[in-house]
Structure 1
């Protein structure tokens, strides 16, 4: 994957996460505020002040996530973003992280990313 391809895909991932967190069913379940600066998406949980940071790492061609549960790296395998340690899928793992930190069960999906 070229750097340009990666940047396009990474931008779609960050935009997709942001859009998912604005869905009415998620807004009703978890009070989060998203802010994005370039390749960094910050998800802040209003009630607790805790955060999840999702950012792209172009040199590594990876998406990185920092949450209370730890730091994770995801690489695109042509179909999905897989954790470089345990092969878990980015959106499934991120749903669990958001559910844990937000205190409500939510699910975000890749939606074409």
Structure 2
């Protein structure tokens, strides 16, 4: 799914920029459609695309979340939260500092 691949590319760059802006230690490792974020405390967030479901899945300390593109943005299939806002919260929790994706 080209849309999810492009979303992961942009997300990777935006996470790096947010971590740099906050001077946070976030290691980003990406293999294909799976991106792993590792934080200073050893905790991780995994973001991967699920082409058959046309979704992005996020696994974090806060739980597991499925995001589907609604034509304009990626939204949580349960809560309706937007991906960048939700992921900013999950990353901030695990980094121990405010990280804001833009």
After TM superposition, the score normalised by the length of structure 2 is 0.93
2:57 corresponds to which residue? 64
Mapped contact 2:84–2:101 kept (Cα < 8 A): yes
* 2:38 aligned with 1:44: yes
User: C-alpha offsets along residues 85-104 of structure 1, whole Å, 9 cap, x if unaligned?
Assistant: 01000111000000010011
For structure 1, list consecutive stretches of 5 or more residues without a partner in the other structure.
1-6
Structure 1's consecutive aligned runs of 4 or more residues displaced over 6 angstroms after TM superposition are none
After TM superposition, the score normalised by the length of structure 1 is 0.84
For structure 2, list consecutive stretches of 5 or more residues without a partner in the other structure.
none
Radius of gyration: which is bigger?
1
User: C-alpha offsets along residues 15-71 of structure 1, whole Å, 9 cap, x if unaligned?
Assistant: 112111222x522431011011110000001x2110000000011010000000100
Mapped contact 2:19–2:26 kept (Cα < 8 A): no
RMSD value, Cα = 1.1
